[in-house]
Structure 1
């Protein structure tokens, strides 16, 4: 039996000897696991003859069985290992390796009464004469003698090799090859999966990122995927997948405020021009009354001062002027001339003196 019962966390550098086997810690025990196609025996890994298959267990499925160091996984590991050791006790059997544990899918054959499906690889010595038929014939009697296992089915090597179904296609062989699907590529450490993106170059503004464990080729920030090509974001957008529209908001706000400021400037200009050209109502009334601007060359221009109308040059001899000072009074001869008109100023050596004009 390959499982060793030892205290918890017992795996160390010498747990599996000097071989290439890997120590796998269980809940209370550990076992040594060699690479695919090899089995562990006598502190070393040996190349073996493989017979992959599925078994159905009559036990409830629990998510805890996916945790290798859980008590539920250890119980399944011990029971399955003991079952196959009992079935192959008369052969050159080497080791049973549990590849995968999963819940039994609906729609299975009515012969299956269990609810847990386990993928295993049974390894024998490399020169063993065992075949799929002899292995199956040895397992059926063991199933009939226990209530733990309800069914055994032969599996393909690809099913046991466990290529990543999302990123690879398995090529069936004793040593299967996991070939990358389109748009995926392998790295140096990839064997059963493809963790890199093909045709995802920085020169094309792309980078590779994993989403739910699947490598995905994405556009760099400020670029958007269109027809498998990364193109620059539209004006106003930025960030991953051009989801950031902050720049667009700033452009819109700036445009609106610019329009408002321009409208205010135009309104102020119009009001200012109208205020300069608008005339006072009183001024308009005086203009209509006949006032002229003496500083203007055109006599028709108006001013705040009235013109004085005279009879000078008037063609009508009977016209009477409006100016009373210009009219001839009938009593004008009755009055003597002013004193200023009777006297004049004469110049003499002693000075000036007044003298009678007449």
Structure 2
């Protein structure tokens, strides 16, 4: 229901709220409900994403003319796709994201992704495939694209074989709960608290909150949160700088210990060599002293023998003939003259 006026106290009824745009307004109900006949009605939801090129200025302000034009372009497109289906209730824009495209200074156009949900009456028998096909055909006429989303992601239900289009009957995901009986699983469960090492995170880019482990904790297979392993920290234990720092320190210490051990080995080796030389000198001096005491000289350097070599004298063998003791004398062979 679209009103050609801004919101007043009497604009919307039941549990709905009024949303003001630039010059118009509309009524929106809690998740899983659509506004019709001045009341909120329980329905079946089919989410999807429409992507198109659009003027980016003012899209962050719901009261701007540009946002109002985009809003009714999307809502009217889905309304046209199901114009002949009496079970169609309402199309609701859940969120949008903008992406600046390569453009010149004269243009401010970019890509816009709009998450929208199509709500049908609870008695509708339409399927997800039929909804996706109808919206895709209508979007292609305008040059847009459409991709269906899993209804379980919108309603916070576990992704099982059951139909999550009825988000009031499905089983909630771990960590999520229903704020009241006939509602989506749109809030964190009561056990998502600090005592269980958990926290509830609401990301603006996501439709539903998420129950996460506290920083320095990680999720186990049983769904509990336990302390990070040694060396890891941060959200989801993804930071390993402590482990890297520890490994580097261990390597440095190992290198230092190896260096110290090498110096000790080198010092002892040099000392052992020096002691060996000293022992050799002492032994040599001691041997010299023993030689001097016993009366022997130093061994010859050429032979290295401890005892000196003695050259023996071999006696001549003498013949039986008597030698003339005067034969070798240089006397004249003549007899001396008489002196008388």
TM-score range, shorter chain: 0.3 to 0.5
TM-score (norm 1): 0.44
Structure whose residues are more often strand by fraction: 1
TM-score (norm 2): 0.46
Specify the structure having the higher radius of gyration (Cα). 1
Q: Larger RCO: Structure 1 or Structure 2 (Cα < 8 Å, ≥ 6 residues apart)?
A: 2
